[in-house]
Amino acid sequence: MVTINPDRLLTDLKRLRSFGATGPGVVRLALSPVDLASRQWLVTRMTEAGLDAGIDGVGTVFGRSRNSGPALVVGSHTDTQPTGGWLDGAMGVIYGLEIARALAEDAATKHLAVDVASWIDEEGTFSGLLGSRSFVGDPIEESIRGATNREGQRLEDALEAAGLAGRPRVRFEAGRHVAYLEPHIEQGGRLEAAGKAIGVVTTIVGLRELRLRFTGQRNHAGTTPMAIRRDAGAALVAFIATMNDAFAQLADADTVWTVGRIDLDPGSLSVVPGSADMYLQFRDANAARLQAMESKLADLVRDFNARNRVSVELTTFDAPMEPVSMHTALADHLARAAEAVAPGQWLRMPSGAAHDAQVISRCMPACMMFVPSIGGVSHDFIEDTAEEHIVLGCRVAATAAAAILQEQCAARS
């Protein structure tokens, strides 16, 4: 069994936490100055671990093993949400670094190749899953030209300012890259509720992101009688209630939907809103259910427009993502490693969150594993995981990584 160094693992995680530390959490938005500083630090740590490391043309940090392969890519992301936790994504990247070091320090595994990645902008500050999409060869030029952050900064300008524009972009290497492993915190409460320490991921849910724009008539809030108002804000709120009822009829226990943002124009207490935007996301592991929800939403919009003096327009906010099953043989490697390291303390489970693994699975077999999130909280400053679970998870991931690569090497010999 591979021996990791728990102190080194936790020290690196806590050092990464210091880049953008805000109370117990982290603010490290993609391509911000503090994010770029953390990426330079990662390059240094990867280089010290014997990897050939650098930052590519979109901002991904990639450390390439000097061993010839077959190679396992281990990683996740180190950018955060605007009010982010210290482990979301970051843990998987530092796991990759520690696994590369641990395997290199063991005579039985030092010949194995582990490449380590911190994909850029998984969280969508400019364009979600940008680094992994670039890695698999998606045409991302339009995203680079058109994407902006919420402050209006263009992605193209951010890359130029960071000195990254024009740099080569890391790509999937057929014949070398044979599998992808993404360790991650659960970001939910299923493991904690079950009293388990490790989750072996079976499926990553698909999602839809849509915008509904309600258009009425801006007017004076004091002099406009309720009977003649065309209040876009009130219409939006009423629509959400109808939508919730309709989606509940289609959903199962794991179906989720969220109105994560509402914008009112002009946003004044003394003005009846003339327009209102709501940004909707829904997720499910069943592709047919996602389609049914999308169709139901379109029906609700048509019915609403036929019956109301406020109109609503439905548009796609971001490209849809379909559910993705994790590679069965790789998941079995994780299950065997979990049973060896933490017997009886693991379970198989879906991921309700999107991850780079679902993109990378398009070019090579991919798998994911989870460790518990305290209280099931993530995307918040108080996100946390017990250190014993962080260490245990790395032991499981390292054990599985060695087994995956040994199997690949045996198949090639």
Binding residues for Zn(2+): 77, 88, 123, 184, 379
φ and ψ at residue 290, rounded to 5 degrees? -60, -45
Annotated binding site: 77, 88, 123, 184, 379
Determine contact, residues 272/229, Cβ cutoff 8 Å: yes
| Placement of tokens 């880049």 in the chain | 19
Which residues are paired to 241 by β-bridges? none
- Maximum alpha-carbon separation in the chain: 83
- 248: which 2 tokens? 């509940």
| Pairs from 136-140 (Cβ < 8 Å, separation ≥ 24) | 136/172, 136/359, 136/360, 136/362, 136/363, 137/171, 137/172, 137/363, 138/359, 140/58
Instruction: Name, in order, each residue with C-beta under 8 angstroms of 4's C-beta and a sequence gap of 6 or more.
Output: 98, 99, 102, 391, 394, 395, 398
How far does Cα 322 stand from its chain's mean position?
14
Residue type at position 143: S
Q: φ, ψ for residue 8 (rounded to 5)?
A: -65, -45
Inter-residue contact 125 to 30 (CB < 8 Å): yes
